[in-house]
């Protein structure tokens, strides 16, 4: 028996075409032989056109099923990892907030003294170091593209101001991006890990500390993606050096960008399938007494605490960036799963229609043969 060809028009969104867009050649001529070009082909004048038979449709349906399984597994893996990343941020927040209180209290007592703290020293800005934090992998939507666009915009702004700049790239995606653009000066390439640690943050902190203290750069800015919620993350810039006297994380305009709340995610089952739920929490710290007595010189304590807080700032930025990347990947894989389900349903419907048309053509052949014998 002959195998009919099917023509289906597919737009950018997977949707089933109406009956006018489907033509079954076997219904018009039941004795038509199959065409030589039965593989998928595209028509330039249409958005996207494919021509394939039943075997090709079965292959595509199986391929979509396998892709759906992969994307669903990647979604669940990203959901589990984003919870661990957020737990790391929340667990480190009490230490960071307590350190802020200590720095603030020391700074209050040193307001009337003339101290020489190199990390808080302001000087005219002639050169800026930009620490750009990107991801190591793709398949996370526009996560890497957003932070790289933010970096490009900041570079253009510095050029307009006549200020020199250099880049410290963190992450494989950023390293690849800046390597392909030799006109952008890069001081150092660093690779991020699967889970940021204090050792990774200390490597970056030592580099920016040496650049700032040696006066090679007069300001250090940190560009990373701040985690807001499961479906939202904002690329931000905050001044890393010189450090704020109060120890707060501030943007380039001096506004505090510390988060007041966090969101934790947990995996649960709903209607027999794994799903993700989120809970908003507020971290709590013990009230810190404003009255302090220091056994050592406050200047020595300040010199010891400022590098420690510099490390904690960088570590927190790396953790926020990782949580944003995993949330973006989870969202992208969730959309891919939904698209795979819709595409599989449409392909199955078209497959059933063509199979029915083929059966109808075979019946017409039998009836035409019986009529010819009469």
pLDDT range class, residue 134, cuts 50, 70, 90:
very high
Q: Does the structure show a pLDDT above 50 at 217?
A: yes
| Lowest pLDDT segment from 64-68, 96-100, 331-335 | 96-100
Question: Residue range 121-148: average pLDDT?
Answer: 89
Note whether 285 and 99 are within 8 A (CB).
no
Residue 177 lies in a domain: yes
Question: Residue range 344-371: average pLDDT?
Answer: 88
| Lowest pLDDT segment from 35-39, 51-55, 117-121 | 35-39
Question: Residue range 277-297: average pLDDT?
Answer: 56
Exposure class string for 13-26: b at 16+ Cβ within 10 A, else e: ebeeeeeeebebbb
| Lowest pLDDT segment from 24-38, 288-302, 322-336, 350-364 | 24-38
pLDDT range class, residue 6, cuts 50, 70, 90:
very low
Note whether 343 and 10 are within 8 A (CB).
no
Q: What is the pLDDT of residues 141-182, one digit of tens each?
A: 889 999 999 999 999 999 998 889 999 999 999 999 999 999
Residue 30: other Cβ atoms inside 10 A: 19
The residue ranking higher by pLDDT, 360 or 247, is 360
61 DSSP assignment: H
pLDDT range class, residue 353, cuts 50, 70, 90:
confident
Q: Identify which of 42, 84, 69, 40 has the alpha carbon closest to the alpha carbon of residue 344.
A: 69
Predicted pLDDT at 7: 38
Q: How many domains does the chain have?
A: 1
CATH number for the domain that contains residue 198? 3.40.1380.10
Which residues form the domain of 94? 65-285+295-336
Q: Is 133 a catalytic residue?
A: yes
> β-strands 23-24, 6-9: how paired?
antiparallel
Residue 360 lies in a domain: no
The residue ranking higher by pLDDT, 116 or 257, is 116
Question: Residue range 241-260: average pLDDT?
Answer: 54
256 DSSP assignment: B
The residue ranking higher by pLDDT, 267 or 129, is 129
Note whether 230 and 327 are within 8 A (CB).
yes
Note whether 2 and 33 are within 8 A (CB).
yes
Q: Does the structure show a pLDDT above 80 at 360?
A: yes
Cite the DSSP H helix spans in 195-289. 198-213
Q: Does the structure show a pLDDT above 70 at 111?
A: no
Predicted pLDDT at 285: 43
Q: Identify which of 91, 71, 136 has the alpha carbon closest to the alpha carbon of residue 336.
A: 71
pLDDT range class, residue 331, cuts 50, 70, 90:
confident
pLDDT range class, residue 234, cuts 50, 70, 90:
confident
Note whether 324 and 227 are within 8 A (CB).
yes
How far lies 373's CA from each of 27, 28, 275, in Å?
22, 22, 63
Q: Does the structure show a pLDDT above 60 at 33?
A: no
Q: Does the structure show a pLDDT above 90 at 44?
A: no
Predicted pLDDT at 172: 92
Q: Which helix (H) or strand (E) holds 225?
A: strand 219-229
List, edge to edge, every strand of the sheet that includes 6-9.
Answer: 23-24, 6-9, 49-52
In the block, tokens 């001096």 appear at 254
Whether the ω angle into residue 242 lies within 30 degrees of 0, i.e. cis, is yes
Residue 157 tokens read as 């702004």
pLDDT range class, residue 118, cuts 50, 70, 90:
confident
Predicted pLDDT at 308: 85
pTM over 0.75: no
Torsion sign (Cα): 328, 332, 335, 337: negative
pLDDT range class, residue 18, cuts 50, 70, 90:
very low
In the chain, what's the furthest Cα-to-Cα distance? 117
Residue 30 lies in a domain: no
Q: Does the structure show a pLDDT above 60 at 264?
A: no
Residue 370 lies in a domain: no
Residue 238 lies in a domain: yes
Residue 366 lies in a domain: no
Average pLDDT, the chain: 75
Candidates 3, 40, 52, 133; catalytic one: 133
Q: Does the structure show a pLDDT above 60 at 46?
A: no
Residue 160 lies in a domain: yes
Predicted pLDDT at 24: 37
In this prediction, what percent of the chain has a pLDDT beyond 90?
20
Predicted pLDDT at 8: 38
Residue 186 lies in a domain: yes
Note whether 132 and 168 are within 8 A (CB).
yes
> β-strands 262-270, 273-281: how paired?
antiparallel
């Amino acid at each position: 028996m002959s195998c009919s060809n099917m023509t289906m028009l597919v737009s950018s969104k997977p949707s089933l075409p109406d009956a006018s867009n489907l033509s079954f050649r076997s219904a018009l001529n039941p004795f038509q032989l199959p065409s030589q070009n039965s593989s998928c082909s595209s028509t330039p004048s249409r958005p996207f056109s494919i021509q394939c038979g039943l075997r090709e449709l079965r292959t595509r349906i199986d391929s979509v099923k396998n892709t759906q399984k992969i994307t669903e597994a990647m979604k669940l893996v990203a959901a589990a990892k984003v919870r661990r990343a957020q737990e790391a941020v929340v667990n480190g927040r009490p230490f960071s907030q307590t350190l802020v209180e200590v720095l603030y209290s020391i700074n209050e007592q040193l307001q009337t003294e003339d101290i020489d703290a190199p990390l808080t020293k302001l000087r005219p800005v002639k050169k800026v170091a930009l620490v750009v934090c990107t991801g190591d992998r793709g398949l996370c939507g526009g996560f890497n593209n957003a932070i790289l666009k933010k970096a490009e915009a900041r570079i253009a702004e510095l050029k307009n101001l006549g200020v020199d700049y250099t880049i410290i790239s963190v992450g494989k995606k950023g390293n690849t991006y800046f390597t392909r653009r030799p006109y952008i000066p890069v001081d150092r390439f660093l690779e991020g890990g699967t889970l940021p640690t204090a050792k990774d943050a200390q490597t970056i902190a030592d580099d920016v500390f040496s650049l700032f203290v040696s006066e090679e750069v007069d300001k250090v800015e940190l560009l990373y993606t701040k985690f807001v919620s499961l479906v939202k993350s904002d690329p931000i810039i905050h001044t890393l050096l010189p450090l704020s006297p109060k120890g707060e994380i501030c943007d380039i305009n001096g506004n505090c960008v510390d988060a007041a709340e966090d969101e934790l995610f947990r995996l649960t089952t709903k209607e027999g399938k794994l799903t993700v739920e989120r809970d908003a929490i507020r971290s709590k710290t013990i009230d810190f007494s404003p009255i302090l007595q220091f056994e050592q010189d406050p200047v020595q304590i300040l010199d010891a605490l400022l590098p420690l807080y510099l490390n904690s700032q960088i570590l927190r930025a790396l953790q926020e960036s990782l949580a944003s990347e995993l949330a973006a990947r989870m969202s992208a894989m969730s959309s891919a799963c939904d698209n795979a389900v819709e595409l599989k349903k449409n392909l199955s419907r078209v497959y059933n229609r063509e199979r029915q048309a083929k059966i109808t053509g075979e019946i017409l052949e039998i009836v035409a043969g019986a009529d010819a014998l009469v």
